[in-house]
Chains A and B, each alone.
Chain A
Amino acid sequence: MGKVVLTVDDSASIRQMVAFTLKSAGYEVVEAVDGEDGLSKAKAKVADLVLTDQNMPKMDGLTLIKSLRGLPDYRNKPILMLTTESSDAMKASGKAAGATGWLVKPFDPQKLLEVVKKVIG
């Protein structure tokens, strides 16, 4: 059974791309459409890695990270930000919120796989 990756993005196409990239490498992928959905799915099934967008309706990525870090299951789980935001200020606030890493869109599927392998094996 592969490790579970939760991908949170309001763009269906990005979710699809992340899903087929990771599924082809044997990971199990759970999709969520925004921060709120991501939080409830993260609670329903504990993921080994959370991959989240920043700008989303209802709840943004930074808030999701802060909420997840408050849960015992996610205190030490890797959480990666996958967003179009590339400013140093945003990255700094991501780091402060508890993000493990920052990936600027567009992502190269091969590089995404490498990072995921590096983080959860």
Chain B
Amino acid sequence: MSSAKFVALICISALLVGLTVWFADPVWGVLAVIALAGLVLLIGLRNGGGQVAPVDAEAPLRGELNGLMADLEREEKAQVQLGIQDMERVKELLRHAIDELVRRFGDMNAHIQSQRDLAISIVSAMSSHEHGAEGVSFSEFVLNTSTTMEAFVDNTVNTSRIAMGLVETMEAIDHEVNAIIAILSEIESIAKQTNLLALNAAIEAARAGEAGRGFAVVADEVRALSQRTNQFSQQIRGHMDGVHGSLVKAHESIYSVASMDMNFALQSKQRVQSTMTRIGEINQGMSQSARRIDESAEKVAVEVNAAVTALQFQDMGNQLIEHAQQRINIVTQMIEGISGRIRQSGQLSDALLQARSALRESAQQAAQGNHPVKQKSMSSGDIELF
């Protein structure tokens, strides 16, 4: 009979007794009270009987509890196994990914190093002052070219200036030649007059007759001399005309050299200078760019280092996952221990006591485990030299 029916029965009985005591004769009232007392005794006997026969009541509960424990163990084991498998997969995935990343960063580091070496070699090739096997540096080459070009232009300008001087000298010589030619005309006119004088002297000598015969000889000789003088003068004039002609030709040539446009040479000099300045600037610019490449490569190297530091999370994560796996295994052991103790113990109360002590022991064991990773961030760790 269920307890609800019992309560209902007692309530109805109590109501009947109450009504009987209230309305009926005292005799009926006494009988009703006795009946009620009997009912209470019956209930008391029923409840007391439950304590007297405990084995019959606990047996199904034990069965239920053992079944529950077996189910719990089985289910927990299955779930833990799946969980640990997932963790193993996470570890494996991380291992593959991080190995690959580390390899890539390692390659990157090597490339950056060679990039830096190249940039440094460009800078040193452009600004080096040492005379190695390659000879001069680029800036020295620019300087040499500039100096050579300047010397060349200076020489050209100098040549022009000297030619100008030569032209003036030539003109002076020609002037002298013309003066000589003028003097020659004078000599020719003197010779002509001498000739006439000699002719007159010869006439006068003829007129004097025998007495003038000696004089006539002298007059003829003077006439011959004047004719030779005239001949020489003619020869000199011919030569002088030749000299004059040559001088005119030479004057023309040198004048054409001297009057050549020196602006071209001066402009060339300026162009060469500005070109060399520009080349120098480009050179400096390239040198600066190479230096900047080196600087940025250095920064990349620093970033790679930081990335490599951060990538070590895999090692720590791995250890933490392994530690978590250990903890999960401890939970399995706890459940196995509790379940075992419960199934081995006889009385339910004893079983509960055993279960609690098993849990306590496992907890103490678990507390002794060392935690390998205490880091909370990925900033690089302490270094201590003993």
Chain A residues proximal to chain B, CB less than 8 Å: 9, 11-14, 16-17, 19-21, 24, 54-55, 84-87, 91, 94-95, 99-111, 115, 118-119
A12–B99 CB distance below 8 A: yes
Q: Can you pick out 12 interface pairs between chain A and chain B where the beta carbons lie within 8 Å of each other?
A: A13-B102, A16-B106, A20-B105, A20-B110, A24-B113, A55-B319, A84-B373, A86-B375, A104-B381, A109-B308, A110-B302, A115-B385
Provide the residues of chain B in CB contact with A9, threshold 8 Å.
315
A106–B109 CB distance below 8 A: no
Nearest A-chain residue to B316, judged by Cβ: A84
Provide the residues of chain B in CB contact with A102, threshold 8 Å.
382-384, 386
A84–B375 CB distance below 8 A: yes
Provide the residues of chain A in CB contact with B98, threshold 8 Å.
13
Measured CB to CB, the closest approach of chain A to B113, in angstroms, equals: 6
Main secondary structure of the interface of B (DSSP, over half): helix
A109–B314 CB distance below 8 A: no
Contact mask for chain B residues 101-112; partner A; CB cutoff 8 A; 1 contact, 0 none: 111011001100
Q: How far is the CA of A107 from the CA of B306 in the complex (A)?
A: 10
Provide the residues of chain A in CB contact with B383, threshold 8 Å.
101-104, 111, 115
Provide the residues of chain A in CB contact with B385, threshold 8 Å.
100-101, 115, 118-119
Nearest B-chain residue to A14, judged by Cβ: B315
Measured CB to CB, the closest approach of chain A to B299, in angstroms, equals: 13
Known pairs A11-B314, A101-B386, A103-B384. 17 more at Cβ < 8 A? A12-B95, A13-B311, A13-B314, A17-B102, A17-B312, A24-B113, A86-B375, A99-B386, A104-B381, A105-B312, A105-B381, A106-B378, A106-B379, A106-B381, A107-B309, A107-B381, A109-B308
B374–A105 CB distance below 8 A: no
Provide the residues of chain A in CB contact with B311, threshold 8 Å.
13, 17
- Name the contact of A108 in the complex, choosing from B99, B305, B384 (C-beta under 8 A): B305
Known: A16-B102, A86-B375, A101-B384. A107 touches B312 (CB 8 A): yes
B310 adjacent to chain A (CB < 8 Å):
yes
Known: A84-B373, A105-B312, A110-B305. A95 touches B386 (CB 8 A): yes
- Name the contact of B309 in the complex, choosing from A86, A87, A99, A109 (C-beta under 8 A): A109
Chain B residues proximal to chain A, CB less than 8 Å: 95, 98-99, 101-103, 105-106, 109-110, 113, 302, 305-306, 308-316, 318-319, 372-375, 378-386
Provide the residues of chain A in CB contact with B314, threshold 8 Å.
11, 13
B318–A11 CB distance below 8 A: yes
Provide the residues of chain B in CB contact with A111, threshold 8 Å.
380, 383
Measured CB to CB, the closest approach of chain A to B259, in angstroms, equals: 71
Known: A102-B386, A105-B316. A17 touches B308 (CB 8 A): yes
Provide the residues of chain B in CB contact with A107, threshold 8 Å.
309, 312, 380-381
Q: How far is the CA of A77 from the CA of B241 in the complex (A)?
A: 108
B110–A86 CB distance below 8 A: no
Q: How far is the CA of A94 from the CA of B382 in the complex (A)?
A: 15
- Name the contact of B372 in the complex, choosing from A84, A100, A101, A118 (C-beta under 8 A): A84
Q: How far is the CA of A84 from the CA of B314 in the complex (A)?
A: 12
Known: A101-B383, A106-B381, A115-B385. A20 touches B106 (CB 8 A): yes
Provide the residues of chain B in CB contact with A87, threshold 8 Å.
374
Q: How far is the CA of A42 from the CA of B62 in the complex (A)?
A: 61
Q: How far is the CA of A17 from the CA of B306 in the complex (A)?
A: 12
Q: How far is the CA of A59 from the CA of B98 in the complex (A)?
A: 24
Provide the residues of chain B in CB contact with A95, threshold 8 Å.
386
- Name the contact of B374 in the complex, choosing from A11, A19, A86, A109 (C-beta under 8 A): A86
- Name the contact of B305 in the complex, choosing from A85, A100, A109 (C-beta under 8 A): A109
Provide the residues of chain B in CB contact with A54, threshold 8 Å.
372
A13–B386 CB distance below 8 A: no
Q: How far is the CA of A87 from the CA of B312 in the complex (A)?
A: 19
Measured CB to CB, the closest approach of chain A to B81, in angstroms, equals: 21
Q: How far is the CA of A95 from the CA of B113 in the complex (A)?
A: 37
Nearest A-chain residue to B314, judged by Cβ: A13
